[in-house]
Chain A
Amino acid sequence: MNARPRHLVRGTALAGVLALGLAACGGGDGGGSGSGGAAAPVDTGDVLEEGGEITVWAWEPTLEQVVADFEDEYPNVTVNLENVGTANDQYTALQNAIAAGDGVPDVAQIEYYAVPQFAISEALTDLGPLGADELEGTFSTGPWNAVHSGDGVYGLPMDSGPMALFYNEEVFAKFGVEVPTTWEEYLEAARTIHQQDPNAYIANDIGDAGFTTSMIWQAGGQPYQVDGTDVTIDFAGDEGTATFTEVWQQLIDEDLLAPVGSWSDEWYQGLGNGTIASLTIGAWMPANLESGVPQGAGKWRVAEMPQWEAGQHTSAENGGSSLTVPAASENAELAYAFVDYATNGDGVQTRIDGGAFPATTADLESEEFRGTESEYFGGQKINEVLADSAANVVEGWQYLPFQVYANSVFNDTVGQAYVSDTTLTEGLAAWQEQSATYGNGQGFTVTE
């Protein structure tokens, strides 16, 4: 493997990741031959005046209104918004379209954790030369770093998910539990709640890749190091990982976590009837609580996420997605103009009004945004807490350039810690091994 010429290794990595192990045949048109080819920043005004038609693949619900407003404002532009499926379904469709070299959209929604995977396979247009290079400072640090890969900017942040502790104040009061400020206190709170009512839990968790990586992120861990096709995966020697597993293993061992998968009907049920008392999750959660847990209106509150050491103020990102322009787009300039409008222009306010949580620093710092009182959260100014969290995200986190695959085997490895005698540490070791094997098979050089 190491004897192979460098460019060949890279080429295999590209082809392999591109096809995600599904189909490496067909396609072969590589990086879309630098479509658009604009070296100078796009004058969005001209492009929008000229008009044209673009296709957008996204599942984000507030984009519907953004597209409607956009078309009203620029009547020469037609935007076909298609919901091709949520997250993984969309990535599969996108990878298939890229492999087939046909039907690739002009704009695609991609979650932050999956951006490196598409970026390194040169499936996305580098938006830097089109104008994104001038947007430094426009977006909060976590999402802005997430859309970078190497020297390129492969998308613009659409929303962000700085983490916070969402908790049911009524349940906490009933059990006489103070809002925990450290994970040690959180563990105590979990014990108190579960002792008093065996059906009640402080939180649910059956093993969730996004949550686990975010928790390690907050603890300062950096198990993934990526430099081009050189990848390091190291959970065993990572201090942040050890900090996380030490506390979380106790929660698992003492059965203090509800054995309920997130987003299931049971989960919504638990959040509604108070048997799941809190969530440590991204800032996009309020809209889901409002629509999915109407019984919780007035009972829920938001606090800073618990800290690993008292007195600190650190947080991490959880979820969130960007709008990207696939390399095969034939109308990259117009696509960029739309992405710019939706993530950085008038579209942002439309999306905030629709319940989305922005990634733009101007909005996160604006008095109007921070001062908004949420009726669902009993009149609390939740955006203050959430925006502060966005500013406190620990820097330096990286996802794997094959994170979509890695997350797909999380439950077979780390998930075992929740259902058997396997420990989290053993589970993470197995996860590391499987991820490394896959990465090497795709042409990356993975060091463990």
Chain B
Amino acid sequence: MTTTTLTTSAARTAPRLRTPRRHSVARPRRSPLLTALTAIVLLYSLVPLAWLLINATKTQEDLFSSFGLWFGEDFSLWENITTTLTYDDGVFVRWFLNTVLYVVAGAGGATFLAVLGGYALAKFDFPGKRAVFAIVIGAVAVPGTALAVPTFLMFSEMGLTNTPWAVIIPSLISPFGLYLMWTFAAEAVPGELLEAARIDGAGEFRTFFQVSLPLLAPGIVTVLLFTMVATWNNYFLPLIMLRDSSWYPLTVGLNAWNAQAATAGGEAIFNLVITGSLLTILPLVAAFLLLQRYWQSGLAAGSVKE
């Protein structure tokens, strides 16, 4: 006992003598205040999630009669899930598939366009580049909600409202994604590499696909995550574009379920709304966990000079 204490204390004091007041990544300084603050932030972000998880296991009656952050009398998670999936002729499944369609086509397309555009803007010189820059930055500042109604009127002229196109086409444009890709490509793809490839006789397409694209992977994943989250959570645009509930994404559909409780003669289905919300966020959680690796390296890119 005594020896261990001695050695550990010796080990603790030894480096401190040599390198006073230095804290490496491996040996971070401990701050109770920071730890406490982090803990609060952690609680703040996890409690709603826990609430959602716990309350998805309750029946409607338990929801009203039991404590919010603990389980009710019946554990009816499976029953809630099956009811959610079958309620109103299984419309939830339809909404889920719609959302997947909008995300694959919208977010996938937006990422594709952002990569092409960002790369071109970063690596090619052409007149008017500064103007493009100004427009992109300006576009980042305009919230999508502000554009929703003008977009609606325009799409209505074209006869595209109340079709999936009305949700997919506006989702294809991601000024922030373009800007991110632009700055990322400027840092991650060295100009010398491109020159070398060109000297070796590679065409622009080959240079892009074989040389640049692998280098851009972390940036692409980052943009993909951003656009995915934006499209998955998109609410206002589909709300005003779509009238046929069979084309609703999950967000608008769940809101319609929630509104039932406030309708004369409507059935309150809070348990299904909660379970539906849980099912709605699961794919996003999965995407984050799976793509986390790329996402992290993406964020750190360019932070250290090599």
Task: Determine whether the beta carbon of A26 is less than 8 Å from that of B153.
Answer: yes
User: A292 to B243, Cβ gap below 8 A?
Assistant: no
Contact A102 B262 (CB under 8 A): no
Could you tell me if B159 and A102 are in contact, using CB atoms closer than 8 angstroms?
A: yes
Is the CB–CB distance between A84 and B243 below 8 Å? yes
Interface string of A343-357 (1 = CB under 8 A from B): 000000000001110
Closest Cβ of chain B to A220, distance in Å, is 26
Q: Which of A102, A272, A294 contacts B156 (CB 8 A)?
A: A102
- Having A60-B265, A85-B256, A103-B156, one finds 13 other A-B pairs with CB under 8 Å, namely A23-B152, A26-B153, A82-B245, A92-B240, A93-B243, A97-B156, A100-B156, A101-B156, A159-B264, A161-B264, A288-B264, A295-B64, A320-B264
A354-B142 Cα distance, complex, nearest whole Å = 47
Categorize the interface residue count of chain B. Answer: 20 to 34
A358 at the interface (CB under 8 A from B): no
Tell me which of B153, B239, B255 contacts A25 (CB under 8 A): B153
Complex interface: stretch among A236-244, A262-270, A399-407: A262-270
Q: Which of B61, B149, B268 contacts A23 (CB 8 A)?
A: B149
Q: Which residues of A contact B150 (CB under 8 A)?
A: 23, 25
Pairs across A and B, CB under 8 Å, 28 listed = A26-B157, A85-B255, A86-B256, A89-B239, A93-B240, A93-B243, A96-B152, A97-B243, A100-B152, A100-B153, A102-B159, A103-B162, A103-B243, A159-B264, A263-B261, A263-B262, A268-B261, A268-B268, A268-B270, A284-B265, A288-B266, A292-B268, A295-B61, A295-B64, A295-B65, A319-B264, A320-B264, A356-B265
> Is the C-beta of B79 less than 8 angstroms from some C-beta in chain A?
no
A61 and B149 contact, CB distance less than 8 A: no
Do residues B64 and A269 form an inter-chain contact, with CB atoms below 8 A? yes
A124 to B256 CA separation, bound complex (whole angstroms): 25
Q: Which residues of A contact B (CB under 8 A)?
A: 22-23, 25-27, 57, 59-62, 82-87, 89, 92-93, 96-97, 99-103, 159, 161, 262-263, 265, 268-269, 272-273, 282, 284-285, 287-288, 291-292, 294-295, 319-320, 354-356
Nearest-neighbor residue (CB-CB) of A55 within chain B? B243
Interface members, chain B 50-99 (any A CB < 8 Å) = 61, 63-65
Residues of B contacting A59 in the complex (Cβ-Cβ under 8 angstroms): 259, 263, 266
Q: State whether B262 touches A86 (Cβ < 8 A).
A: yes
Task: Let me know if B244 and A61 touch, CB within 8 A.
Answer: no
Interface SS of B by simple majority:
helix
Complexed CA–CA distance, A86 and B159 (Å): 24
Cβ–Cβ contact A282 & B153, under 8 A: no
Closest 8 pairs between A and B when the two form their complex, measured CB to CB: A100-B156, A263-B262, A284-B264, A292-B268, A269-B64, A86-B259, A26-B153, A287-B265
Chain B: minimal CB distance from A168 (Å): 14
Q: Knowing A62-B265, A96-B240, say if A294 contacts B259 (CB, 8 Å).
A: no
Query: In the complex, what distance in Å separates the CA atom of A268 from the CA atom of B157?
Result: 44
Q: How far is the CA of A60 from the CA of B262 in the complex (A)?
A: 11
Report how far A263 CA is from B243 CA in the complex, Å.
24
CB-defined contacts of A269 to chain B, threshold 8 Å: 63-65
**Chain B residues whose CB sits within 8 angstroms of the CB of A287 once the complex forms:** 264-265
| In the complex, number of A-B residue pairs with CB atoms less than 8 Å apart | 115
Q: B267 in the interface, Cβ–Cβ < 8 Å?
A: yes
Task: Report B-chain residues with C-beta under 8 Å of the C-beta of A292.
Answer: 261, 267-268
- The answer on a CB contact under 8 Å between A355 and B265 is yes
Q: What is the CB-to-nearest-CB distance from B11 to chain A, in angstroms, rounded to a whole number?
A: 56
Whether B266 lies near A89 (C-beta < 8 A) is no
Residue among A92, A101, A268 with the most chain B CB within 10 A? Answer: A268
Q: A23 contacts B263, CB within 8 Å?
A: no
B251 at the interface (CB under 8 A from A): no
Check if A23 sits within 8 Å of B153, measured CB to CB: yes
CB distance from A141 to the nearest CB of B (A): 20
**B161 is an interface residue with CB less than 8 A from chain A:** yes
Task: Flag B233-249 by CB within 8 Å of A: 1 or 0 each.
Answer: 00000011001110000
Given A25-B153, A100-B161, A268-B270, residue A82 in contact with residue B243 (CB < 8 A): yes
Q: How far is the CA of A288 from the CA of B268 in the complex (A)?
A: 8
- How many angstroms from the CA of A161 to the CA of B263 in the assembled complex? 13
Residue of A nearest to B265 (CB): A287
Q: Tell me how far the C-beta of B92 lies from the nearest C-beta in chain A, rounded to whole angstroms.
A: 15
Contacts of B245 in A (CB 8 A): 82-83
Q: Inside 8 A of A93's CB, which chain B residues have their CB?
A: 239-240, 243
Q: Which residue of B lies closest to A286 (CB)?
A: B265
Contact of A102 among B63, B161, B256 (CB under 8 A): B161
Name the one of A82, A262, A268 contacting B64, with C-beta atoms under 8 angstroms: A268
- Contact between B259 and A96, CB atoms less than 8 A apart: no
Q: Which residues does chain A contribute within 8 Å of B65, judged by CB atoms?
A: 269, 272-273, 295
Contact call B267/A291, Cβ cutoff below 8 A: yes
CB contacts (< 8 Å) of B270 on chain A: these are 265, 268
Distance in Å: Cβ of B166 to nearest Cβ of chain A: 11
Identify which of residues 161-211 in chain B touch chain A, using a CB-to-CB cut-off of 8 Å: 161-162
Chain B residues whose C-beta falls within 8 Å of the C-beta of A102 in the assembled complex: 156-157, 159, 161
Say yes or no: A82-B244 contact (C-beta < 8 A), given A96-B149, A288-B268, A356-B264. yes
Interface pair B161/A103, CB less than 8 Å apart = yes
> Is the Cβ of B64 less than 8 Å from the Cβ of A265?
yes
Question: 1/0 contact trace for B124-157 toward A, CB 8 Å?
Answer: 0000000000000000000000000110110011
Q: Within the complex, which residue of B64, B162, B266 is in contact with A61, where a contact is CB–CB below 8 Å?
A: B266
Give bound CA distance, A85 to B243, whole Å: 8
Residue picked from B153, B244, B245, B256, most chain A C-beta under 10 Å: B153
List of B residues within 8 angstroms of A272 by Cβ = 61, 64-65
A292 CA / B270 CA spacing, docked (Å): 10
Which residue of B is nearest A23, CB measured? B149
Inter-subunit contact B265/A354 (CB<8 Å):
yes
| A-contact bits for B266-306, CB 8 A (1 contact / 0 none) | 11101000000000000000000000000000000000000
Query: Quick one: which of A57, A101, A284 contacts B243, CB cutoff 8 A?
Result: A57
Please report the C-alpha to C-alpha distance between residue A319 and residue B263 in the assembled complex, in whole angstroms. 10
Q: How far does the Cβ of A280 sit from chain B's closest Cβ, in whole Å?
A: 16
Given A82-B245, A86-B256: A61 touches B267 (CB 8 Å cut-off): yes
